[in-house]
Structure 1
Amino acid sequence: MRILIIEDDADLCEAVKFHLEREGYRADVCHNGGDALHFIRQQAHQLIILDRMLPEVSGISILRQMRARGIATPVIITTALNGVGDRIEGLDAGADDYLIKPFAMDELMARIRAVSRRPSGFEPDRTLRFLDLTLDCGCYTLTGPSASHTLSKREADLLEIFMENPRRLLPRAALLARVWGPDAPVEDGNLDNYIHFLRRRLKTVGSSARIKTARSIGYSLESED
């Protein structure tokens, strides 16, 4: 699961990133509102931790722009402003939770887990199903009619996106951003290599599902027919 941390305090940002990765999440960071909007538009993250007071564009403004664009990614606001009116403004702008600084890392992790339990949130460990396939996202195990196979983390991350969006054409740029990160220095051919690996895994477990290519556009997970 990929989380975006938007925080202008570099030390706090790195501390949060460290704790997230220790808990098994993937994390990207940015330190100002302009960069934040660039990351958010790519919709590569399943949760955003957003500092309210940022250079260039405020956290509240970022949140309002997100919601106005129809981006429903869960957001936890962090801020030193603890007045009732401040909390109400953040929640009314579209925040899913509001955490006052300074905060304990254990509380942040608990807030993330709480957001994940909501219907509109995400689940860190879950099982996805499509046709005759089952993917255990926690242990990266793919099961089909004839066998089970343990995937690499990258393979599981990529297949998870397909199984969240069955029969939907997913653009190459969106897949690269979700799996490798929005600004990761990854070659386009890496995606093709992992698609090749996944196709082999589908055959290994005896599935009727297939990853189909839309040349120069992207890929989709479909039935064999």
Structure 2
Amino acid sequence: MRVSANLGFLYADQPVTGRIASAARDGFDAVEFHWPYDVPPEQLRAALTAGGIQGVSINTRRGNLDAGDFGLAAVPGREDEARAGIAEAVDYAARAGLSAVHVMAGRAEGEAAGRIFVENLRFACEQAERHGITMLIEPLNLRDVPGYFLTGTDHARRIVAAVGHPTLRIMYDVYHMQIMQGDHVRTLQGLGDLVGHIQIASVPDRTEPDRGEVDIRWLLDQIAYSGLVGAEYHPTRAPGDWLRDFRSSS
């Protein structure tokens, strides 16, 4: 099992480049990011190279946080901003040596939002294909992100089919999907290679994935998935200690 440290949550008391070094020191196989845009992409690439660790993904920007934005790609009237953010994220990922971009849908609803999301994702895939980058969409739970457009795997599957581009995949976050729908084994088996990345955390407290409602280790053993597993949780102890215990339980 190859595990990626999500540096949006882990080692948060350090600068981004320090987080990369800490994750590499602690034995993570890769790192993923939320919004590292304050760090020049070349500096991020240099830190990954120095740590000898793989860089996975970033998110598109959320938009105007004061106005409650949480992504823009499905928000009517924000198409120009959404596409500018997508282009920025793809360029940043390519220059930093990252392999994927998560396109954040945002808070929206209705047919117009769905149509705009598909159109923006087609634009995103065309941008990403030039660099060999995977595009990801992620269903989120409505408890943490009220009003979010994409909240379930059936909807995500329909979006992927409508976009019709081979570079688009689903990011399956066990924490979010336990809150929204559960039934992980059957769902993941049914999605198959549409799954581009998996993230894990405990439910309901989103701390280390070694407690709570879902037996994460058992779940991962049941599915035919060979990709990286992203540890996206709020730590209560040293991430390296959790990683060692997680691997020793396999």
TM range (shorter): 0.3 to 0.5
Question: What TM-score comes out, normalization by structure 2 length?
Answer: 0.31
Which protein is richer in strand relative to its size? Answer: 1
Structure (1 or 2) with the larger CA radius of gyration: 1
Question: What TM-score comes out, normalization by structure 1 length?
Answer: 0.34
Higher relative contact order (CA 8 A, sep 6+): 2
